[in-house]
Amino acid sequence: MALLYKSDPDRGRRWQALFAEHAPDIEFRQWPDIGDPAEIRYLLAWQPPAEIATLLPNLYVLFATSAGIDQFDTSILPEALPVVRMLDPAIEQGMIEYATFATLWLHRHMADYVRQQRQHQWQARMITPAGERRLGILGLGQLGGAIARHLAGYGFQVSGWARTAREIPGVTAYAGVEALDAFLAECDILICVLPLTDATRGVLDRKLFERLPTGASLINMGRGEHLVEADLTAALATGQLCGAVLDVLREEPPAADHPFWQDPRILMTPHVGAMTQPDTAFPVLLENLRRHQRGETMLGCVDRQRGY
Ligand code: GLV
């Protein structure tokens, strides 16, 4: 029985050592050295091979190395193949850290201070107390919920929106499309951690920005395709939005002449919000492999119809 790994080769070496030490009954193979494809029962991948159905005829489960699975073309996957997303605690921790950093960057006007320093200007802006700053988390699942709980601890007013109702102590939760307007009207800083699906593609657009309070800011740590980039440029130009932190872009890296490179109100980072760490992800994966071998339900199974 073999597991094929197809993702970052450097981290692959660590995965290999962890399998050798803790699960020697499962043979670890690293793409492109797949050996006899008939023996491969599990695939652990950022992106599965295009010809997956014919190349790996005996596959039991596709495990994503990532929290999001939108990069999978589900139309080429065998219909009954279970797809499992990565629930590495290091991803949750990374997302909490990034959301905290980006929130504080915006809350404490850091873009202004970076610009001022370049111009040799020494000028303080008033501090808004955290209790007067309203944060809104768009997407209140496992990651959004963890971010909301953490940021509530700083004393911010935190609310969150999800398709279905969630209860998080200290967080005002909104649910369903009919509650979206009320949620958006109270977001000084909007943090997008939605999964990317056909329903959420392009959700961060002009119409949504107009429903935020004037002068709000945006943090996108979901996927680049959530954002209509030209609408952000327009909203910054009118002052409807005053700043943005973007960890994800439609095209990564963005083209050399992309306007965001030059815009001092936008902080861009190269999709580094969180990274799967083999040492913390391995126990999660192994638990699922053992569950699968025992015929039990695995953790993090994707509802392929829903798309996350
Ligand atoms: C990274 O973007 C992930 O989905 O884990």
Q: Which residue has tokens 């793409």?
A: 31
Global pTM reads: 0.95
- Nearest atom (ligand 1) to Cα of 66: 5
Structure tokens at 12: 């692959």
Question: For the chain, what is the total number of helices (H) and then of strands (E)?
Answer: 9, 12
What does the pLDDT read at residue 178? 97
Location of structure tokens 């429903």: 211
Catalytic one of 109, 133, 150, 223: 223
Per-residue model confidence (pLDDT) at position 49: 93
* Cβ 171 vs Cβ 152: under 8 Å: yes
Q: How far apart are CA 121 and CA 118, in angstroms?
A: 8
Q: Which residue is closest in CA terms to ligand 1's atom 1?
A: 66
Question: Hey, which of 66, 71, 192, 277 would you mutate to test ligand 1's pocket, going by the most ligand atoms within 8 Å of its Cβ?
Answer: 66
pLDDT value of position 82? 97
Residue with tokens 């199974």: 301
Residue of 92, 94, 124, 87 whose CA lies nearest to 109: 124
Assign 50 to helix, strand or coil: coil
For residue range 123-163, list pLDDT tens digits in order: 999 999 999 999 999 999 999 999 999 999 999 999 999 99
Check residue 62 and give its pLDDT. 98
Give pLDDT tens digits for 221-241: 999 999 999 999 999 999 999
2-88+276-294: in CATH 3.40.50.720: yes
**pLDDT, mean of residues 99-117:** 98
- What is the spatial distance between Cα 60 and Cα 40, in angstroms, rounded to a whole number? 9
Per-residue pLDDT band for 100 (boundaries 50, 70, 90) equals very high
Which of 14, 271, 291, 304 is flagged as catalytic? 271
Atom in ligand 1 nearest the alpha carbon of residue 65:
5
85 belongs to the catalytic site: no
175 strand-pairing partners = 162
Tell me the mean pLDDT in the region 253-274.
98
276: left (phi over 0), alpha (psi -120 to 50) or beta: beta
Domain spans in the chain, listed from the N-terminal domain onward:
2-88+276-294, 92-268
Pocket test for ligand 1, best of 70, 91, 220, 302 (most atoms within 8 A of CB): 91
Q: How far is the CA of 96 from the centre of ligand 1 (A)?
A: 13
**pLDDT score of 295 more than 90:** yes
Q: CA–CA separation, 18 vs 92, rounded Å?
A: 21
What's the whole-number mean pLDDT along residues 252-256? 98
Amino acid identity, position 89: P
N residues, the chain: 308
> In whole angstroms, how far apart are CA 285 and each of 76, 81, 87, 154, 222?
23, 17, 8, 33, 23
Supply the mean pLDDT for the chain.
97
C-alpha 133 to ligand 1 mean position (Å) = 28
For residue 214, the SS3 value is coil
Residue 75, pLDDT score: 87
Residue 123 Cα, ligand 1 centroid: separation in angstroms?
A: 38
Looking up tokens 């492999």, which residue turns up?
289
CB 277 within 8 A of CB 88: yes
∠ Cα 15 20 24 (to 5°): 125
What is the Å distance from ligand 1's center to 155 Cα? 28
Three-class SS of residue 28? strand
Which CATH number is 92-268 given? 3.40.50.720
Q: Which amino acid is at 100?
A: T
163: DSSP letter: S
Which residues pair with residue 241 across a beta bridge?
216
Ligand 1 — pocket residues by CB below 6 A? 66-68, 91, 274
pLDDT digits (tens, 9 = 90+) for 23-67: 999 999 999 999 999 999 999 999 999 899 999 999 999 999 999
Q: Which pLDDT band, with edges at 50, 70 and 90, does 291 fall under?
A: very high
Give catalytic status of residue 108 as yes or no. Answer: no
- Same CATH topology for 2-88+276-294 and 92-268: the answer is yes
Distance 67 CA to ligand 1 centre (A): 5
Q: Which residue from 1, 77, 82, 10 is spatially nearest to 41, judged by alpha carbons?
A: 1
Q: Rounded to the nearest whole angstrom, what is the distance from the C-alpha of residue 131 to the centroid of ligand 1?
A: 31
Q: Which residues of 65-80 are buried (b: 16+ CB within 10 A; e: fewer)?
A: bbbbbbebeeeebeee
What pLDDT does 74 receive? 86
Torsional class of 125: left (φ above 0), alpha (ψ -120 to 50), beta (otherwise): beta
Ligand 1, residue 68: give the atom nearest the CA. Answer: 4
Ligand 1 atom with the smallest distance to the CA of 86 is 5
For residue 90, CA distances in Å to 30, 69, 87, 103 come to 22, 17, 8, 20
Report the atom number in ligand 1 closest to the C-alpha of 271: 2
